[in-house]
Amino acid sequence: MARWGGDRYRGGGGVDAHIKIDGDKELLAKFKSLGRGFREDVLVKAVMGGAKIIQDEAIARAPVRPGPTGGNLRDSITREPITKRRDFAEVGVSWRVRRGKGKSSRHPAFYGVMVEKGTGPRFRKSGGRTGTMPEQPFLGPAYDATKDSAQRKVKEELSDLIRKKLRGAR
């Protein structure tokens, strides 16, 4: 199974998508024959390849404010491995992938979730209003537009990497 960070939003940005790879019994048998360390590496590399397609689309769709710091959100969209196990890999695609607790507000693109989902009326401590912000989704639509090609890429990468590993092992 492979998974990267589409279908439902996670708190802090990003989307969860699941790809279950089955059907190619020969490929699955070869995958299971790989050693433990190789399996995790192969899965992460394959999922990173699919996540790159989503990342590129999200970068193209990200809104850019005018001014010198206008590209912070676009420039901070990244992909990064989050979890890897024997038969499971998770890669996050977001303006902020897991960076630890308390650090999100210090990230240059901390406002990414506000841009993606919009905001309701906000008020300052002094009582003044800051207004609302309409949603400008870009990460979710990027996933929706590229999920099929990303899934194909993961399967292709997985197949290629398994075959390369098995050739090198002989």
21 compared with 78, residue with greater pLDDT: 78
Lowest mean pLDDT across 68-77, 83-92, 100-109, 152-161:
100-109
Q: Which tens digit of pLDDT belongs to each residue from 55-86?
A: 999 999 999 988 887 888 898 898 988 877 76
Residue 11 has pLDDT above 70, yes or no: no
pTM: 0.76
pLDDT of residue 38: 73
Q: How confident is the model at residue 110 (pLDDT cuts 50, 70, 90)?
A: confident
Residue 48 has pLDDT above 70, yes or no: yes
Lowest mean pLDDT across 10-19, 93-102, 158-167:
10-19
Residue 146 has pLDDT above 90, yes or no: yes
Residue 111 has pLDDT above 60, yes or no: yes
Mean pLDDT of 130-137: 88
Mean pLDDT of the chain: 77
The amino acid sitting at 29 is A
pLDDT of residue 138: 93
pLDDT of residue 57: 96
Reduce the secondary structure of the chain to three states and give it as a string.
Answer: CEEECCCEECCCCCEEEEECCCCCHHHHHHHHHCCHHHHHHHHHHHHHHHHHHHHHHHHHHCCCCCCCCCCHHHHHCEEEEEEEECCEEEEEEECCCCCCCCCHHHCCCCCHHHHHHCEEEEECCCCCEEEEECCCCCHHHHHHHHHHHHHHHHHHHHHHHHHHHHHHHC
Q: How confident is the model at residue 12 (pLDDT cuts 50, 70, 90)?
A: very low
